[in-house]
Structure 1
Amino acid sequence: MLEISPQKVVHVIYLSREGAVGEAELHAFIDNLNDEEKAHLTAIAWIGRGAFEPEDFAEAAATAAAEATTPTAGYLMGMPHLAENLESGLEALGVDVTGEEEDFL
């Protein structure tokens, strides 16, 4: 289902919480994802903020890929509450990231 590993999503969550300290690293991390990973990361965030329902994940990912007219890193980093949206999106999709979260504590 997901073309991006939960560990990578948790990494983005962690870096986005770092604020200005992790900004350059977050930008570089997202830039280094492949196009499918970027689309799926965006779709997870959209589901987390309620723009799509979890059962519409495939549609959200396809929309993210089709409408990627700006660099994904800039788009996501400009999204208010990115970390919370990603967490909510993963939860809505039933993805357990407990083990991955422990790696960042």
Structure 2
Amino acid sequence: MDDAETDDFPAIDLEKVAFILLKARAFDAQEDVVEPDYGSNASDDQFREVLEAYGDDATHAELVEAINDLNWDEQCHLVALVWIGRGSFDAEQWQEALAEAEDGHTNHTAEYLTGIPMLGEYIEEGLSAFDISISDIEAAHL
């Protein structure tokens, strides 16, 4: 990537993005709760209940916390990256997407992002639009 492209590159720490991406993938994979009063021993059932979205879900809480821990600029960059990933903008429209994310920023970014189905996929597609692969960083967090 040359210096002319750096103005069009999301200014967000890729390790933070990788962590959010991993949590978003886990959150996206969850299903609706089938048995709300799950009383079985988790180890006996091979921890199958982690695939269901219970109200006290640690995956959701960790994802929200990671997004809330981002500063204002990073949150705006993440939202713009998601928008590019879902096709609302393309990489050449980065500045436009970022300006719109900044104009619409609220204190509810985590709630907004976690309400987007396929959030993990959109983050990954957004990074891909900038020819960024974070597989090496992901591997370090597994």
Matched-pair contact (CA < 8 Å) for 2:10–2:81: no
Provide TM-score, normalisation by structure 2.
0.69
Work out whether residues 25 and 121 of structure 2, in 8 Å CA contact, stay in contact via their aligned partners in 1.
Answer: no
Q: Bigger CA drift: 28-37 or 1-10?
A: 1-10
Q: Which has the higher helix share?
A: 1
Instruction: Measure the CA separation in 1 of the matches of 2:106 and 2:70.
Output: 16
- Which of residues 60, 67, 81 is equivalent to 2:118? 81
User: Whose radius of gyration is greater, 1 or 2?
Assistant: 2
Q: Which residue of 1 aligns with 2:104?
A: 67
The number of aligned residues is 105
Provide structure 2 residue ranges, at least 5 long, that are not aligned to the other structure: 1-8, 28-56
> Structure 1 CA distance, aligned partners of 2:84 and 2:132?
13
Task: Kindly report structure 1 stretches of 4+ aligned residues shifted beyond 6 Å.
Answer: none
Q: Separation in 2 of the partners of 1:89 and 1:2? A: 10
Which residue identity does 2:87 align to in structure 1?
G
- Helix, strand or coil for the counterpart of 1:56? helix
Q: Note the 1:16-27 alignment, pairs <5 A.
A: 16-19=24-27, 20-27=57-64
Equivalent residue for 2:131?
A: 94
Q: Verify the 8 A CA contact 1:45 1:85 in the aligned structure 2.
A: yes
